[in-house]
Amino acid sequence: MDLVIRNAQIFDGLGEQASHGDVAVEAGVIVAIGENLSVTGTQEVDANGLSLMPGIIDSHTHFDAQISWDSTLAPSSSLGVTSVVIGNCGFTIAPCRPDDRDLIMRNLTQVEGMSFEVLRQGINWNFESFPEYMDGIEKGGMSTNVAAFMGHSSIRTYVMGADAVERAANDDELAQMKQLVEEGMAAGAIGFSTSTAPQHNGHAGVPMPSRMADPDELKTLVTAMGSDGKGIFMLTKGGQTEVSFLENLAKMSKRPVMIAALLHNSTKPNATFDELAAIGEARGRGHELWGQISCCPLTNDFTFKSAYPMEGLDSWKPAMKVQGEELKALLMDTHFRQRVKDELSKPLGGRLFNNEWHKLELIEVSDPKNQHLEGKTVDQLAADAGQDPMDWILDFAVSENLESMFTAVLLNSDEDAVGKMIRDPNASVALSDAGAHLTFFCDAGFGLHLMGHWARDLGTLTLPEAIHELTAKPAAIYRIPKRGKIEVGYYADLLLFDPATVARGVKRRIHDLPGGEARLTTDAVGVYGTWVNGVQVTNQNGLIEGDQRPGRLLREFDT
């Protein structure tokens, strides 16, 4: 045997209570499970006192660009994740014509909070088509398994060029997009993804191309995706996209629909639950819809060079078109400020920032004389200065040349509400966004947080239920075969952990992106080993050094 893990508390991923015993692996596949197995492994692991589960499947990531320069897909691979789904929200880098590369990167810089210089230095443009992209990442190898969506915005840009952000597609363009979707599915895409969310804006604040699609375009492309009886349709939902329309897409295509991102908004506390109820009603009619939720509070570190929490506001659009001195002048303009204040005064579900200044904190100043202000909330700082919070924060940011760092707790801050969402049978826990928003937040450890905080500490789920939510359940939803369970004949994607301590660590900033630029990361707590296809990639100290690339590009999916 290549690997035998002995004396483990084994959670099989199905949500049942654990059993005690050994797991034997040969050629990347689980070949035996039981007590006191009479086999010997090349690698023997004594798991006494520890628990063994299937590796975490992270179904909402954005590693499409990072995989070009980082085969480890950090930090997910060190946080118990053994399979990732990339290409969510329609934000992909393939297909892409050579002349569109700069635009694709600038759009990602805006919508996914990525550095243009990092993307420029890091992406290996060894492809134009989606099949070529798939072949390229497969050849490059990776530490985790990877499944890839085809992205609507990239497909639209490839077919329509600059018009992709201006108008609906004509019949000829739609036919070309349909052909690209069919080509992508034949190359092994897991499905088709898009976004209608108002906060999803590209370069200079222009809406991402997918937001210009009309209902007929979505119907055509989703139906094309499902024409061979496979694929999942994923979208990040704007308020104008009704669940009833998405149910009709599921009915027409006969394929599952994953609806993101259902996050709790304290200013409209019932909105997410209304969406989940509508999804449940559709499921009751035999149409497979899911609501994708997060088990983490949505926090965001930002400066006013790119104030992501504000970028879903129509009144903020002018600030997304300028930079440097022009941006500072605009932020000091009283008319601009008043328009922002007026818009924020109107309640709106799904908006990232909702005038909750007590949830926005100054965490890092650029001028040492202001260090005594760090750690205070903006409502406190504004009250001390006798100013409106919007005026105070913009005055302060400009005074520090827009270098001040703030953090905002935007959504999912009500733990009672989030706990209720986690328990909802129509919900799927995901939304790590790993690979995107690298300087804003890091939720790649969401699975460890679900097991430690929500299961062990709060008891919202049992540990077997939490593990099921992270393993067999997403494998079933996304039709990923032979993964997500500890079962004979399944691939040996395994996570060894201590249930008494498992958690995600505190976030910290490191400088390991191309060009030495910074990103946020976090460390695993209570993780003792991760195996991908039977090969160990982490131990209790984190990633194992060396060129470990046992992950596989997933191209075959169940119906």
pLDDT tops 70 at residue 349: no
3-state secondary structure 264-313: CCCCCCCHHHHHHHHHHHHHHCCCCEEEEECCCCEEEEECCCCCHHHCCC
**pLDDT above 70 covers what percent of the chain?**
99
pLDDT in tens, 253-290: 999 999 999 999 988 899 999 999 999 999 999 999 99
Whole-model pTM: value is 0.93
pLDDT tops 80 at residue 230: yes
Domain ranges across the chain: 56-297+412-479+486-508, 300-408
**pLDDT for res 189:** 98
CB 332 within 8 A of CB 398: yes
Inter-CA distances, 495 with 9, 46, 374, 409, Å: 12, 14, 39, 30
CB 26 within 8 A of CB 491: no
Model confidence at 441, pLDDT cuts 50, 70, 90, reads confident
pLDDT tops 80 at residue 348: no
CATH node for 56-297+412-479+486-508: 3.20.20.140
Q: Which two tokens stand for residue 482?
A: 């032979």
Cis peptide upstream of residue 75 (ω within 30 degrees of 0): yes
